[in-house]
A and B are shown apart, each in its own frame.
Chain A
Amino acid sequence: MIRPFRLEEPKTVREAAGLLRRHGDGARVYAGGTELLLAMKERLVRCDRLINIKKISALDRLELEDGTLRIGALATHRRLEESRVLAQCLPAFVAMERAVANVRVRGVGTLGGNLCFAEPHSDPGTLLLVLAATLVAEGQDGRREIPVENFFLGPFETALGGDEILTEIKIPVPPPGSSAAYIKFGYLERPSVGVALFLALDDAAEGITSARVAVGSAGPQPKRVFEAEALLQGVGVTEAGRRIDQAGEAAARAAEAVSDIHGAADYKEHLIRVLLKRALARVIEDCQKQTR
């Protein structure tokens, strides 16, 4: 049974930030609760105050504004899975959301909650890393934007300050001729390994003008793999195919894979190499389809 706590239902972000500042570590932000409540049931986290932020309006919006997708932190996975706007501009994101946990978790769990909980075995953070997303945090001292690369500090640890709440996830809509993919593998509820790739090709769809690679779930936090990106960027698609094993090696190293219930470290490294190769084939094919 969950230990007793006091429920607080602030109506504004400012009010929520004030509660967090006043109550410190004993206060927990509650969005969908799909991860937090599990930890509370197991008594793995202390919670004297549960700050329910679902009474704050406009935190669940989803809109396209000047080429940027603005996703409210309280948007549920299910809503993102079913969004037509997202399906049009970011099909890879919809595909990722479609495969998060199960329909019950997706219906209640939020994108913002997922990111803030920073459970290493998770999907969205890895894909957001290659989509150049920015996270918007608000606290008592104001609002700031955090590039997603700087958001995850380690298992269950983020760059959010003690009184800050994640309010929004901003994703620039990728330009035509580009594509992204997120491929995961796992045999339990959560992924063992996730690999994300973004590529932009030149007008002839032959040369890679921009590449972003990320790995997640295997190690302590999702990570960009700059070494792999440098190998793929500025080369032709055929040459990229030759270099993908080397890029896979770099990604496997960058992941800092750990052995756990989801698999041994060397097994996860193997999966990363395989999944990156598949992602390359998929993304190139998708880019070329657009130019045909």
Chain B
Amino acid sequence: MALQTEAGERQFVEIEFTLNGRTQRATVEPRELLLDVLRNRFRLKGTKRSCDMQVCGACTVLVDGQPVSSCTYLAFEVNGRNVLTIEGMARNGKLHPLQEAFIEHGGFQCGFCTPGMILAAKALLDANPDPSDEEIVHFMEGNICRCTGYKPILESIHAAAKKLPTAKA
């Protein structure tokens, strides 16, 4: 990562990172938030701004496989790292088993929390392929849904876990 200065005042940073499997480069100001860079620079609108204070989980993306709140995460920090957004979940036109499970089990209604829910659930299942209800609740309690009452989300994650029997292999 190169720290650059322009006209003495404003500072720019060159970053290179993997975004949904592809290498990307960007020039950002240190103050720019990952959420804004994803939505405005890369036009990836699946990542939502909601509470803007790391409480609700709607802006969740994975950085090196770990969930972060992109609303409160400086974009330059992804330099050299791997970023996954909801747009990177489907492969070759086929939805990820978590996406299929959320559809099948009604894991959403309005859908605003869903990208964050699915990414958080992916991080959980990657580390723990067969989580208990309690483990799911502990991991997912920072992702808020105002529609479903959470039960269909639990069911969706269990169903996806069954479809991904060798997730850890």
The residues of A that contact B57 with a CB separation of less than 8 Å are 102, 104
Task: Give the residue of B31, B66, B142 whose beta carbon is less than 8 angstroms from that of A2.
Answer: B31
Q: Is the beta-carbon distance between B30 and A104 smaller than 8 angstroms?
A: no
Task: Give the residue of B29, B73, B76, B120 whose beta carbon is less than 8 angstroms from that of A103.
Answer: B120
Q: Is the beta-carbon distance between A107 and B67 smaller than 8 angstroms?
A: yes
Greatest chain A CB density within 10 A among B10, B68, B76 is at B68
Q: Looking across the interface, which residue of chain A has its beta carbon closest to that of B11? A: A6
Give the distance in Å from the alpha carbon of A233 to the alpha carbon of B12 in the complex: 59
The residues of B that contact A4 with a CB separation of less than 8 Å are 9-11, 29, 31
The residues of A that contact B53 with a CB separation of less than 8 Å are 38
Q: Is the beta-carbon distance between B68 and A104 smaller than 8 angstroms?
A: yes
Q: Is the beta-carbon distance between A41 and B72 smaller than 8 angstroms?
A: yes
The residues of B that contact A38 with a CB separation of less than 8 Å are 53-54, 72
Q: If A7-B30, A102-B55, A107-B67 touch, does A34 touch B72 (CB 8 Å cutoff)?
A: yes
B44 contacts chain A at the CB level, 8 A cutoff = no
Contact with B along A78-103 (1 / 0, CB 8 A): 10000000000000000000100111
Contact with A along B19-36 (1 / 0, CB 8 A): 000000000011101000
Task: Give the residue of B66, B72, B141 whose beta carbon is less than 8 angstroms from that of A33.
Answer: B72
The residues of B that contact A101 with a CB separation of less than 8 Å are 54, 142
Q: Looking across the interface, which residue of chain B has its beta carbon closest to that of A99? A: B138
The residues of B that contact A41 with a CB separation of less than 8 Å are 52, 72
B99 contacts chain A at the CB level, 8 A cutoff = no
B159 contacts chain A at the CB level, 8 A cutoff = no
Q: If A33-B74, A101-B142, A102-B142 touch, does A107 touch B31 (CB 8 Å cutoff)?
A: no
B37 contacts chain A at the CB level, 8 A cutoff = no
Give the distance in Å from the alpha carbon of A78 to the alpha carbon of B67 in the complex: 11
Q: Looking across the interface, which residue of chain B has its beta carbon closest to that of A40? A: B31
Q: Is the beta-carbon distance between A50 and B30 smaller than 8 angstroms?
A: yes
**B-facing residues in A24-55 (Cβ within 8 Å):** 33-34, 37-38, 41, 50
The residues of B that contact A37 with a CB separation of less than 8 Å are 72-74
B139 contacts chain A at the CB level, 8 A cutoff = yes
A258: min CB distance to chain B, Å: 21
The residues of B that contact A102 with a CB separation of less than 8 Å are 54-55, 57, 141-143
Question: How big is the B interface, by class?
Answer: 20 to 34
The residues of A that contact B3 with a CB separation of less than 8 Å are 7, 9
A45: min CB distance to chain B, Å: 13
Give the distance in Å from the alpha carbon of A4 to the alpha carbon of B74 in the complex: 12
A76: min CB distance to chain B, Å: 10
B114 contacts chain A at the CB level, 8 A cutoff = no
The residues of B that contact A289 with a CB separation of less than 8 Å are none
Give the distance in Å from the alpha carbon of A211 to the alpha carbon of B141 in the complex: 34
Q: Looking across the interface, which residue of chain A has its beta carbon closest to that of B124? A: A103
Contact with B along A1-16 (1 / 0, CB 8 A): 1111111010000000
B117: min CB distance to chain A, Å: 12
Give the distance in Å from the alpha carbon of A164 to the alpha carbon of B88 in the complex: 42
Give the distance in Å from the alpha carbon of A7 to the alpha carbon of B74 in the complex: 11
Give the distance in Å from the alpha carbon of A33 to the alpha carbon of B67 in the complex: 15
Q: Can you give 10 A-B contacts (C-beta < 8 A)?
A: A34-B72, A38-B53, A41-B52, A102-B55, A102-B57, A102-B143, A103-B67, A104-B60, A105-B142, A107-B67
Q: A6-B30, A38-B54, A101-B142 are in contact. List 15 more A-B contacts (CB 8 A).
A: A2-B31, A4-B29, A6-B11, A7-B3, A7-B11, A33-B72, A41-B72, A78-B66, A98-B138, A102-B55, A103-B142, A104-B67, A105-B69, A107-B68, A108-B73
